[in-house]
């Protein structure tokens, strides 16, 4: 059992939480609470990152008869993700080239370099999740 516990913690890059003895509080928590140290060098870069929930809806227009609508419109991603990444995923799911898809917030196109955190803080702060974004599909003849 001890071997399985040790392998579990090692596979995740964690040190096992131990109860410090009363005379072994040097370098630990002065309150004597259990603690663990986390080795960031072996951790996954985005696993412990903040996340944002998005709702991607197709912008409706009277002339648009396209069937390109997402089946799963809710997305959860890292706050470090950029609009360009979201657009690529959207294009892949819809089977369209990237130049035909545009991501909008309040009918305003969003720049590719904007991160989800910038978008959330500048335009959605204080509102309930999920962040509502729209996408439009440009006419292929243009």
Is a pLDDT exceeding 80 seen at residue 101? yes
Does residue 56 contact residue 94 with C-beta atoms inside 8 Å?
Answer: no
Q: What DSSP string describes 58-82? A: EPP-TT-------S--EEEEETT-B
pTM attached to this predicted model: 0.59
Q: Which pLDDT tens digit goes with each residue over 11-69?
A: 887 777 665 555 544 455 554 545 556 565 665 555 667 888 899 888 876 555 556 67
To which H or E segment does residue 1 belong?
Answer: none
Residue (of 15, 20, 19) closest to 40 by Cα position:
15
CATH architecture of the domain 44-137 equals Roll (3.10)
End-to-end CA distance of the chain: 65
pLDDT at residue 142, as a whole number: 47
Question: Where do the domains of the chain lie?
Answer: 44-137
């Amino acid at each position: 059992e001890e071997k399985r516990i040790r392998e579990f913690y090692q596979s995740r890059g964690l040190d096992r939480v131990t109860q410090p003895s009363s005379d072994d509080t040097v370098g630990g928590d002065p309150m004597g609470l259990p603690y663990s140290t986390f080795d960031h060098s072996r951790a996954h870069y985005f696993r412990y990152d903040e996340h944002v929930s998005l709702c991607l809806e197709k912008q409706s227009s009277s002339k648009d008869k396209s069937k390109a609508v997402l089946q799963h419109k809710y997305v959860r991603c890292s706050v470090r993700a950029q609009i360009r990444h979201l657009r690529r995923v959207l294009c892949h799911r819809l089977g369209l080239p990237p130049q035909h898809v545009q991501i909008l917030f309040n009918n305003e196109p969003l720049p590719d370099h904007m991160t989800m955190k910038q978008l959330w803080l500048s335009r959605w702060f204080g509102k309930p999740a999920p962040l509502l974004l729209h996408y439009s599909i440009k006419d292929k003849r243009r």
